[in-house]
Structure 1
């Protein structure tokens, strides 16, 4: 994710194999990989996995080393093994397989994968994103909200993360609620004392099971926001169903996507994030009774040295 690949972030929290010798070999393999020797790293990981063949995290690491060494077929085998040992797919092996072997792209990543990704990333999220990657979506989305000239009674920030958008829109909302899948992200958002209510929610589920409606009625929000969230979801049907239930008549929905260019759907990018086409977003808005007020095409962050193209939307019901 972002400047680091998703795989690199996941590796920082991968659990011990439970075997001291295997762990030592795995640590050394990591050093070799970081030193630019993925072939040698893969060889050492294979030795570690001979000692601990049921270590899902180890198989994921082996797969990434093989992939970096250009051994795609054997990387696919190791990702498949990871998935067998980890059916909840907390490492996102199904996403890697979709990119490597052209198998069906999952409509969305496993919730456990996204939750783990952001739990792991919470402590350094803002430093990485804002200072290193020139991330400016909260300011740009807030500018669209400010331009409406409206004062909202209740704003609901979906996928609020560490609360980067909250301070930018606080002045326009009487009450501000934030929802996120990651408890560690929510804890960081809580430290800002900006939100009136914070709670865990899963935007990939139907409204009833999402967690967004536990503390309030339907159609309660006159502003709904989702800053840099939808690229972790793929298929946006469930998210738009949640927004449909949340938004009152006349409500505004301000959000961003990574720009997939022409076409009418979405695709999985090598970053393991999803990009969406403007046509796909417009069709979902229409179905939920939202009219798009403004779109802004802009760079939303850097990924390595490359700018990531995105689209900001504000739509009104």
Structure 2
């Protein structure tokens, strides 16, 4: 084996330090290039392998990260940072049991590592061991009360375990520790604390559905017995009376569940969603002529496209206040165009944020919104949208129509 020269060591050190600075600046691809060059000059340096693993994880390439971290484990099996990063990579690859074993070994030797307790909680939840995850999160925040992400995860688990007072406290601690304020206030509002936000934070919705994409449809259809999309498509079809429109827009299209139902109703079908992972699945379905990743209210105010049909199935449970959406839909609807959508039905209030973190809307409020934006009600149907915790969730499907052309009045 060739021993690196002093000059090679000096060059590798410079490249390594450059990579650390680039990583801190969020320039991970450039950092990776520097680290690979350093590794070529001086192979098998634990610090280089560790940082290669870190940047590849941040670049979303856990398989390649794991190769670097496995090489580090061969050199230094007990390296604490190496074990932690390997557990991250294994979790991202769906190898949760292996990740848990690594974390248990790490914590046996370094029991005061708060971040490892947090990751252990996340790993246990991935293994559906939610009750076991609770003490892991509690230990993390006991060791590091300012660990905002651990406080958020603890709060969400406590909420799911029907312990609202403890969940509120965890979310308040997360807010004080510097966690995303909009997200904390959204979670707190769902527990009845503070003002109700007008919509779910976009990053929350995008992250939720990015992580949910692979299991989305089986869970929605088989576990939750969701059928709202069928009711929306049926209402739209009835309003169009067998005459396809030139173009239709599927708001919040997700994986494209509505695509096959809307496709016969339009010569061109467009889809819109916040989640790139969901859009990838919608694209694979082959039902859509165009797909756009964007916030729906902003897109409706900006797009030059016009539609004879706009559909939104199970979308407004994350939007909340709908005035801007109605204004945007009215803007893009052609004369005589149809707007069909579903909502969870509130118990009289205009707008409610439920502990499920889904919004519910009042029927009278929706009728007033329609009138304010010049949309006539064609159909209003009460129905069970889905189940939640084996309980039926009551909803509404509304079908509205824009004014017809003056010549047809």
Q: Paired residue for 2:175?
A: 83
Q: Paired residue for 2:346?
A: 260
Q: Paired residue for 2:357?
A: 272
Offset at 1:71?
6.1
Q: Paired residue for 1:6?
A: none
Q: Paired residue for 2:10?
A: none
Distance 1:69 1:176, change over 3 A: closer
The 10-residue stretch of structure 1 (27-36 or 149-158) with the greater mean CA deviation from structure 2: 27-36
Structure 1 alignment gaps of length 5 or more: 1-11
Whether 1:216 aligns to 2:308 is no
* Among candidates 246, 251, 257, match of residue 153 of structure 1: 246
- Deviation per residue, 1:42-64 (Å, 9 max, x gap): 55424323555553321112224
Following superposition of structure 1 onto structure 2, how do residues 40-119 of structure 1 map, counting pairs within 5 Å? Answer: 42-49=134-141, 51-67=143-159, 72-84=164-176, 85-87=178-180, 89=182, 92-100=183-191, 102-119=193-210
- When the two chains are superposed, the root-mean-square deviation of aligned CA atoms in Å is 2.8
Q: Structure 2 CA distance, aligned partners of 1:52 and 1:268?
A: 31
The 10-residue stretch of structure 1 (271-280 or 100-109) with the greater mean CA deviation from structure 2: 100-109
Native 8 Å contact 2:300 2:325 kept in 1: no
* Among candidates 266, 269, 277, match of residue 173 of structure 1: 266
Distance 1:44 1:135, change over 3 A: closer
Q: Paired residue for 2:326?
A: 240
Offset at 1:193?
0.7
Instruction: Give the structure, 1 or 2, with the largest relative contact order (CA under 8 Å, sep 6 or more).
Output: 1
Q: Structure 2 CA distance, aligned partners of 1:312 and 1:101?
A: 27
The 10-residue stretch of structure 1 (135-144 or 157-166) with the greater mean CA deviation from structure 2: 135-144
Offset at 1:78?
2.0
Specify the structure having the higher radius of gyration (Cα).
2
With the length of structure 2 as denominator, give the TM-score of the two structures. Answer: 0.64
Structure 2 alignment gaps of length 5 or more: 1-90, 93-98, 108-112, 403-409
| Larger fraction in strand | 1
Q: Paired residue for 1:202?
A: 295
Other structure's SS at 1:223 match: strand
Other structure's SS at 2:337 match: strand
Native 8 Å contact 2:317 2:344 kept in 1: yes
Native 8 Å contact 1:177 1:196 kept in 2: yes
Q: Structure 2 CA distance, aligned partners of 1:178 and 1:68?
A: 32
Q: Structure 2 CA distance, aligned partners of 1:165 and 1:182?
A: 16
> Paired residues, what number?
291
Q: Structure 2 CA distance, aligned partners of 1:27 and 1:64?
A: 15
- Deviation per residue, 1:263-309 (Å, 9 max, x gap): 4x110112110000111111111111110011111011111210110
Q: Paired residue for 1:187?
A: 280
Other structure's SS at 1:232 match: coil
Q: Structure 1 CA distance, aligned partners of 2:351 and 2:273?
A: 22
